[in-house]
Structure 1
Amino acid sequence: QAELGVNEHHQKEVVSYMRFARFKRGMCLKTVDSCFQDLKDSRLVEETFTVDEVIDMLDGLQSVVHSEVESELINTTYTNVLLLRQLFSQAEKWYLKLQTDVSDLENRELLDQVAEFEKSEYTSSNKKSTADPIKPKLAPLNEGGSELLNKTVAHLQEENEKLKTRLRTIETQATAALDEKSKLEKSLRDLQMIQGDQKNNANQDITELENKVAALKSQFEKTLNDTTANQKFLEEDLVTTKHDLLKVQDQLSTAEKELEKKFQQTAAYRNMKEILTKKNEQIKDLRRRLSK
C-alpha cells in the first residue's frame, strides 16, 4: 500500500487529479493577481487620492475578486461531482454501491496527510527529467473482485430467472382468476334475470292474493254486518220473550193462588184438614205416653 492507503494504480489516479487541481488553483490565483494589476494600471495613476476614491477602488476590487473566487469555487464543486459520477458509474456497472463519509473531508489529520503527500509528490516530480508515462484509465476492480462480482451477477441472474418463472406463474393464475371472474359475472347476470322473472311472477301472485284478501274482507264485513243485524234482532226478540215470560209467570202465580183458594173452600179439603189435625193430635199423645 502507498502513502494514502490505496494501491499504486489508484494513487497514480489521485496524483493525476491533484495535478489537475493544482493547475486550476494556479489559474485562479493568476486571475486574482490580474485583478489587482488591472486596478493598479487603470486607477492608480495619481499620487494622491481621497478617502472616498480609495473606498470606491477597494469596493470595486472586492466585487471583482469575490466574483472570480466564487466562480472558481462553484466550478471546483461541479468538477468534484463529475469525478464522483465517473466513479459511481463504473461501480454501478458491477452492481456495486459506494459510500462516502463527508465528515472525513474536514479531518485535519487527513488533510495534513494529503498536503504532505502533495508536497512530496510535487518535489519529486520537479526532479524528474522525463515526462510521466500515460496513465491507464481507472479499472473497475482487480481480478479477485471481478471473480466475486461475476459470482454475484450469476446469482442475481439466477434470482432474476426465478422471479421471471414466478411472474409467469402469477400471470397464469391471474388469467385463470379473470376467466373465473367472467364465469361468475355471467352466472350472476343469469341469476339476476331468473330473479327478475321470479319477481314478476311473485308480483302477479301477490296481486292475485291481495285481490282474494280484499274479496274475503268484503265478504267478512258483509257477513259481520248481517250477523250484527241478526244479533240485534235476536236481542230484541229475547227481551220481548222475557217480558212475555214474566207476564205468563205472573199469570200462572195468580192462577195458582186462585186455584188454591178455591181448593181450600171445597168440602174435601176441609175433611182432609180435619183428619190431618186429628192424626197430629194422636201422634202428640203417643209421644207423651212414650216419654213417661
Structure 2
Amino acid sequence: MRFARFKRGLCLRTVDSCFQDLKDSRLVEETFTVDEVTDMLDGLRTVVHSEVESELINTTYTNVLLLRQLFSQAEKWYLKLQTDVSELENRELLEQVAEFEKSEFTSSSKKPSTDLIKPKLAPLNEGGSELLNKATAALDEKSKLEKSLKDLQMIQGDQKNFLKVQDITELENKVAALKCQFEKTLNDSTANQKFLEENLVTTKHDLLKVQDQLSTAEKELEKKFQQTAAYRNMKEILMKKNEQIKDLRKKLSKYEPED
C-alpha cells in the first residue's frame, strides 16, 4: 500500500506539472483564438495521456512481478492456489481497502477501524498441510544428521570421546525410520514422491559420509596409538621377555637327555 500510494502521488504530481508548464509557456497573452485554444488543449491531452498510460503500464507490470514472487514460493511447496477475478471488482471490498488506506495513512491520530473485514486466504487442503509437515520433519532430520557429522569431525583423535558402533546403529535406525515416514506419502503425487526421495538420498549420503569419517578416525587412532610411548615401552618389554625365554630354553636344553 505504501509503495502504490507513493507511485500514485508521483503520477499526480507529474500531471499537475503538465498543466503548470502549459500555463507558464503558452498562457502569456490576454486573448486567444479558437484554434490556439484547441492546439493547446490537444498538446496538453497528448502529454497527460502519455504520462497516465505509462503509469498504468508500470503498475500492471509491477503487480505481475509481485504475483510471480508469490506463485514461485507456492510452487516450491507444491501448493494449490485459487483466485477469483470477480472479487477484484467487488465494490464493498474496494471500499474496505480505501477505508483501510485512509485509516493507516491519515495524518491524524485516529486508529484503524476494528470493524474492517480483512479477507483471508483459504486454508491449505489436507494433502498440502501433510506435505508441509513431512517436508519440515525431513529438513529437521537432515539438520540433525549434519550436526552429528560435525560433532564426529570435532572428536577425531580423542580416544575417550570416540564414536562407538552403537552410534552408527542409531544413525541407521534414524534413516530406517525416516524411510518409513517417507513411504507413507509416496502415493500422494508424483511431485511429492520425487521430493521425498531426494531427501532420502541426501540422508543416505550423509550416513555414508559418517561411516567414512568413522573408518578414517579408527585408522588414525590406531596409528596414533602405535606412536605413543606406552605402545613402544610395551613392545620393548615383549622383546626382552622373548630374549629371556630363549636364554632359558638354551639352559634347559643342557639338562635334557639326548635321543
Q: TM-score range by the shorter chain?
A: 0.3 to 0.5
Is the contact between residue 187 and residue 193 of structure 2 (CA under 8 Å) also seen in structure 1? no
SS in 2 for 1:141: coil
Aligned to 2:195: 233
- Higher normalized helix content (fraction of residues): 1
By how many angstroms is 1:207 displaced? 85
2:61 corresponds to 1:78: yes
1:49 lines up with 2:28 in the alignment: no
Task: Return the offset for 1:149.
Answer: 1.7
Instruction: State the identity as a percent.
Output: 91
**Given that residues 131 and 192 in structure 2 are in contact (C-alpha distance below 8 angstroms), is that contact kept between their aligned partners in structure 1?**
no
Closer/same/farther in 2, CA of residues 35 and 95 from structure 1, 3 Å limit: same
Alpha-carbon offset, residue 19 of structure 1? 0.6
Shift of 1:77: 0.4
Q: Which residue of 2 aligns with 1:255?
A: 217
Give the Cα–Cα distance (whole angstroms) in 2 for the partners of residues 90 and 287 of structure 1.
84
**Per the alignment, in what secondary structure is the counterpart of residue 126 of structure 1?**
coil
Are the equivalent residues in 1 in contact too, given 2:77–2:132 (CA < 8 A)? Answer: yes
CA RMSD of aligned residues (A): 43.8
Q: 1:28: Cα distance to partner?
A: 0.2
Pair 1:135–1:247, CA change in 2 (3 A): closer
Deviates more, 1:42-51 or 1:279-288: 279-288
1:21 CA displacement: 0.3
Separation of aligned partners in 1, 2:129 and 2:213: 144
What does the per-residue CA deviation read over 1:206-257, in whole Å, with 9 as the maximum and x for residues that have no partner? 9999999999999999999999999999999999999999999999999999
Structure scoring higher RCO (CA < 8 A, sep ≥ 6) equals 1
8 Å contact kept, 2:185–2:192: no
Structure 1 segments unaligned to the other structure (5+ residues): 1-17, 152-173
Alpha-carbon distance change, 88 to 51 in structure 1, aligned in 2, over 3 angstroms: same
Q: 1:3-40: CA deviations, max 9, x gaps?
A: xxxxxxxxxxxxxxx01000000000000001001101
The change in CA–CA distance for 1:58 and 1:147 in structure 2 (over 3 A counts) is: same
**Structure 1 47/137 Cα, relative in aligned 2: closer, same or farther at 3 Å?**
same
Query: Post-superposition, which runs of at least 4 consecutive aligned residues in structure 1 deviate over 3 A?
Result: 124-148, 174-200, 202-292
Q: Which runs of 5+ in 2 are unaligned?
A: 255-259
Helix, strand or coil: the match of 2:188? helix
Contact 1:36 1:61 (C-alpha < 8 Å) held by counterparts? yes
Deviation at 1:97, TM superposition (A): 2.3
Q: Please say if residues 90 and 140 of structure 1, whose CA atoms lie closer than 8 Å, have aligned partners that are also in contact.
A: no
Partners in 2 of 1:121 and 1:247 — Cα distance? 55
Shift in Å, 1:123: 2.2
**Deviations along 1:81-124, whole A, 9 cap, x unmatched?**
11110110111110112121111010101100111111111127
**TM superposition shift of 1:263:** 172
- Please say if residues 103 and 112 of structure 2, whose CA atoms lie closer than 8 Å, have aligned partners that are also in contact: no
Partners of 2:57 and 2:122 in 1: CA distance:
29
Asked which structure has the greater CA Rg, the reply is 1
Q: Is the 8 A contact 2:96 2:116 kept in 1?
A: no
Bigger shift: residues 267-276 or 113-122: 267-276
Mark the CA change 1:141 to 1:50 in structure 2 (over 3 Å): closer, same or farther: same
In the superposition, relative to structure 1, how do residues 48 and 149 fare at CA in structure 2: closer, same or farther (>3 Å)?
same
Task: Calculate the TM-score normalised by the size of structure 2.
Answer: 0.44
Q: Which residue does 1:108 correspond to in 2?
A: 91
